Amino acid sequence: MSEQRANNTYRDLFVGVDARVPLLGGGTRTYVSLDNAASTPSLKSVQVAVDNFLPYYSSVHRGTGFKSQISTHLFEEARHSVLSFVGANSTEYTCIFGKNTTEAINKLARRFPFTKERNVVLTSMMEHHSNELPWRGIARTIHINVTGDGWLDLDDFNRKLDQYKDELALVAVTGAANVTGYINPIHDLAEKVHAVGGQILVDAAQLAPHRQVDTRRLDDPAHLDYVTISAHKMYAPFGTGALVGRLDTFERGDPEYPGGGTVKIVTVDAVVWADSPERDEAGSPNTIGAVALMAAIQELERIGMDAVSQHEIELTQYALCRLPEVPGLRIYGDINPDNCDQRVGAIPFELNGVSHFKVAAILGYELGIGVRSGCFCAHPYVLHLLALSPEESAEHQSRIVAGDKSDMPGLTRASLGLYNDQADIDALIDALQKISLGEYQGTYIQDRASGEYIPEGWAPDFEAYLGGD
């Protein structure tokens, strides 16, 4: 294990990966973070970039002081960095900063040029809620099916594309599924969508940290019209996301958030909106977040996305080979290690009839391993993977609405990042084997309202780790 850690040249690039955390049984251990599909730790280069910038932090745009000028310079450099990272040129695309991918997709939903004739959005059953819920009530939303093991059903996509070709405005699809890690053939989809006069959005929150994203030029039939990313999934905290989209979409229409910074001129009875992207960035922007995202992009580009992909493919293969060693463990989705070039490292599983809530709790409290449990903000997809009937789903829904999540369907998910290595997988396997055999020490109490388990009579002292008294 120590040799594997010593040979991981990426691990040393990250903040906090050697932090020790308290355990229920006493003592501490080095934290094993396998929850990267939710949020990732910070790169050290991001921490350095933010620390270097903080003494000069000021308001951006229209300020004449040096600090304002340097803040504006870095903010706009970050914008160009994002465009370049996803292969978009500034003559055809704009980059709009916001809080995260969720906000970016909601913005597009309210700014997209739907017409009376073209008002259908095709999305899929594998989407994160962030790329499904924003379209409801905005457009006529049609769902593309997924196969039994969770892949996008391309035959159903082709059928529905043909069925709605005269009404289609947009296809909104994930680049990589946050539950199973499946990578969709986004450029093949794009070419078909453009052939019938539609446009395509790719939710790249799960794709961009792990694979190269290439928007391409608009005259390429396989180009991507809109791409969204989240910095917190790309090793850059501070709460920034970006919407990269067609300039011609955002140079017309009213912003959904009018206010400071969105205008050229205002009178008591008229307003002239600013050009893109300022038109869609109301108020003072998150300059620190933009600087952090730029620093993360620069580090990923220095490493090379091919190298990032190769490391994670090999690690996912190792995990899929070792996880079947755990008695009573079932992996959902594709379990073939040879197919890891078609997925990112998100692996959902269930263990021996033990509640996903409880598995995650034991891993965290007793073994210092962070994973996620539940439906991962993709309820329809997880219910499909679990093969629940409509009647079973309705029964669970009734209990949840009544305030009881104790029997909520779901899975446990381990998700990999660039800093993870085989030692992390080994730790997970050892821990799951203990849980499968009942070799854990805590007595766990379930909160029925949340479904979560906590150990009886023990809780970590957070203040001891946060510098509190």
Q: Which residues of the chain have pLDDT under 70?
A: 1-8, 468-469
CATH number, domain with residue 370: 3.90.1150.10
Say yes or no: 285 and 428 in one domain.
Answer: no
Q: Whole domain around residue 440: which residue ranges? A: 2-42+304-466
Which residue, of 286, 301, 316, is where some domain finishes?
A: 301
Q: Which of 301, 333, 357 is the last residue of a domain?
A: 301
Q: Using the CB atoms, write b or e for 376-388: b if 16+ within 10 Å.
A: bbbbbbbbbbbee
pLDDT of residue 4: 45
Same domain, 234 and 353: no
Same domain, 51 and 191: yes
Is 248 found in the same domain as 317?
no
Q: Which of 95, 321, 375, 377 is catalytic?
A: 377
9 and 144 part of one domain: no
DSSP code at position 93: E
Is 453 found in the same domain as 343?
A: yes
Residue written as token pair 């580090």: 299
The predicted structure's pLDDT at residue 63: 87
Burial class (CB in 10 A: 0-12, 13-18, 19+), 399: middle
CATH number, domain containing residue 100:
3.40.640.10
Please check whether residue 435 is in contact with residue 19, taking contact to mean a CB–CB distance below 8 angstroms: no
* 126 and 261 fall within a common domain: yes
Q: Are residues 239 and 293 in the same domain?
A: yes
Residues 6+ apart with CB under 8 A from 19: 30, 31
The whole-number pLDDT of residue 379 equals 96
Catalytic residue check, 377: yes
pLDDT computed for residue 8 by the predictor? 63
- What pLDDT was estimated at residue 466? 86
pTM of the predicted structure, to 2 decimals: 0.95
Of 244, 279, 301, at which residue does a domain stop? 301
Q: Are 136 and 127 in contact (CB under 8 A)?
A: no
CA distance 299 to 360: 31
